[in-house]
Each structure stands twice: as C-alpha cells, then as structure tokens.
Copies of this chain bind each other. A is one copy, B any other.
C-alpha cells in the first residue's frame, strides 16, 4: 500500500539516487524528474538508472530556453548580484526547476515533492519555498539520514579554505592558459535584454536567447571569465564558501551595466539600483515566487524600456573590457557635455547651483564654530 506519490528532482548522481531508494523503502511511489538546464549530463543513462532504482516514471525536461528567458534575462535586466559578487547562477535555476516539478506533480496527482538539497544549504530553502508557493497543498518528505550519508565525500574540498579550487571549475579555462588574443563582441540590447551577439572578427552572430547565452558561455569560458571564490552569507545566516563560474553571465552583466548607464536617467538608475539589491536578495533567499519579488521584477522591467543599443567589448584573460557603446535612446548629448560648446548652458548657472548647495554647508559650519567657541 503506497503512502502516496513523490516527484523527486533527480540529478542522476549519488545523492538523489539514494533518496530515490530511500523513498521507495519508506513506501512512496517515486516519479523521477530530471531537468536539463544546460549542465553536462548523460540524460539517457540517468533515465535508465532511475528506472533501475524503481522509479515509476521518469521525466526528462529540456528547460534551457525558459531558464534563459524567464530567469536569466530578468537577472540581467536587474544587474542582479548578491553581496557585490555572486551573480546568482544557481539561485535562479531553482525556481525554474521547481516550477516544472510542481507542474508534473499536479499533472500526475502527486502529493509530495522531494529533492537532494541538504538541511543547511540555501537550495533546500529555494526549492521548498518554490513548491509551497506554487502548490500550497504539497508536502516535501526529506531525509536527513539519506542525505548526510554521502554528502560526506561528495564535495569535501570546497569547505577547506587551504585548498585551491582550480580543479573544480568545469566551464572556464584557467585565465593563465587562456588565448593570448582577445575576442571582440558586440551585444545588442532591447528592453535591457540581449537580442543579438556578434563576434566582430569572425563575423559570427547569434540571435535567439538560448543561442546568445550559450555562445557567451563558450567565449567567456574560453577566456577564463567569471570565476569567483568567495565567502558568502547564506540565507540562514551562516557564512559559507562559494566557488562559482559564470562566464556568459559575467559578460552580460558588464555589457548591460554599460548600456543601462548610457541610456537610463541618473535618478531613475539610483532607485533601480536599490530595487536590484532587494531583487538579488529575494532570489538568493528563495523568494522568486513571492509578492515582493513579483512587484520588484515589474518595476525593474519598467525601468528597462529605454535600455536599448549596442555595446562593444573585448574578452581576454579572465577580463571583459568595454570598448564603446551606442544607442538611439541615449541621454548622452555630445554637444551639451562638451566643454567648449555652451549652447543653452550658462556657466554662471553652475556658480548659482553651487552657492545654493553651499547655503546649508556654510550654515552648518557657522553653528559648529559657535559650538567650538563655547567650549
């Protein structure tokens, strides 16, 4: 007699294979769900393995396009970055995977979802909040025992600060071993998202979201772009080391930052910057499907209406250098900004502007002097 059906986010690895077996032993029917979000994986072998371990059904789902369009693009628009460094690659994958997992669970009438994330990590939170938000009646059975058993040897080095992480990187070359000549790219943006990337020297170009992002990953990876080795603050407050590589994301981050500053009003940008910090925290902490994240995403999307144009950049030895930009929506007025063309601009106004701003500072000084003299 079954306890019910569980949709398990299955990776094909040891962790989730153990959980699959454990769930079976506990009396659940298990549906294995394997999301393709671009990782290197032998999906057929994983499917076979899941069936062999007793999965009632196996879903292998290609989520790559929706991952790029629905999750990575909004992060690009936001310049989303957690604690000034982490570009949130893993964090935006969870709501993407969880959304499909919940769809499968509803369709298959499953009462439960499960996953391989551990009790101290962010991914458990991101996964479960997604499921509860989108499928409030669902439950998530979860086994510490099954989980802890093997975590022990899965990634021991990551937690030791004294070891170099060089051998952990999968997508990016060591910058020291990267080519000695840069690639020069032009990225075109509309509404703050990339619509085309062109390799200037090679003449090659891509214009679908998935192709653009894959190509930027390839070029970034080839030049060793986007490696970081940081200590970050987890959702639940503890500090933890994170080793990340985000080659395409890093190129897009820099290019978008450039075209955005070029086309967006200064004061709008300040407000948007504060919203982006919040957006990044929501994503990191697992609140993609929350009213506040919906609201902030809406506001950020609004701010991107004029973020349009082309950015040229070179990619070289782990770095991205912005070479230039142009835009039909630019607020950059060469004549106005030029020192030697006055046009409408009366330099005397600047003196008035400064003196008015100084009224408060002078008054402050006057009071301080009074106070100092009394003492």
Which residues on A are within 8 Å of B, measured CB to CB? 79, 83-85, 118-121, 124-125, 128-129, 132-134, 136, 140, 142, 144, 148, 151-152, 159, 161-162, 164, 175-176, 180, 182, 227-234, 236-241, 257-258, 261-262, 265-275, 277-278, 281, 287, 289-292, 295-296, 298-299, 302-303, 316-319, 321-326, 329-334, 336-340, 342, 344-367, 371
Asked if B339 and A359 sit within 8 Å, CB to CB, the answer is no
Asked if A274 and B273 sit within 8 Å, CB to CB, the answer is no
* Central interface residue in A271, A326, A359, by most chain B CB within 10 Å: A359
Distance between Cα atoms of A240 and B331 in the complex (Å)? 10
Q: Which of B182, B266, B303, B339 contacts A176 (CB 8 A)?
A: B182
Asked if A265 and B292 sit within 8 Å, CB to CB, the answer is yes
Asked if A336 and B275 sit within 8 Å, CB to CB, the answer is no
Known: A349-B352, A350-B120, A361-B290. A239 touches B262 (CB 8 A): yes
- Closest CB in chain B relative to A14 CB, distance in Å: 14
The residue of chain B having its C-beta at the shortest distance from the C-beta of A254 within the complex is B85
Asked if A152 and B340 sit within 8 Å, CB to CB, the answer is yes
Known: A239-B331, A349-B351. A120 touches B337 (CB 8 A): yes
- Closest CB in chain B relative to A130 CB, distance in Å: 9
Given contacts A238-B333, A265-B360, 17 further A-B contacts (CB under 8 A): A121-B339, A125-B350, A129-B361, A132-B355, A176-B182, A233-B261, A237-B359, A238-B359, A239-B331, A290-B360, A290-B364, A291-B364, A319-B319, A331-B363, A336-B363, A350-B356, A352-B353
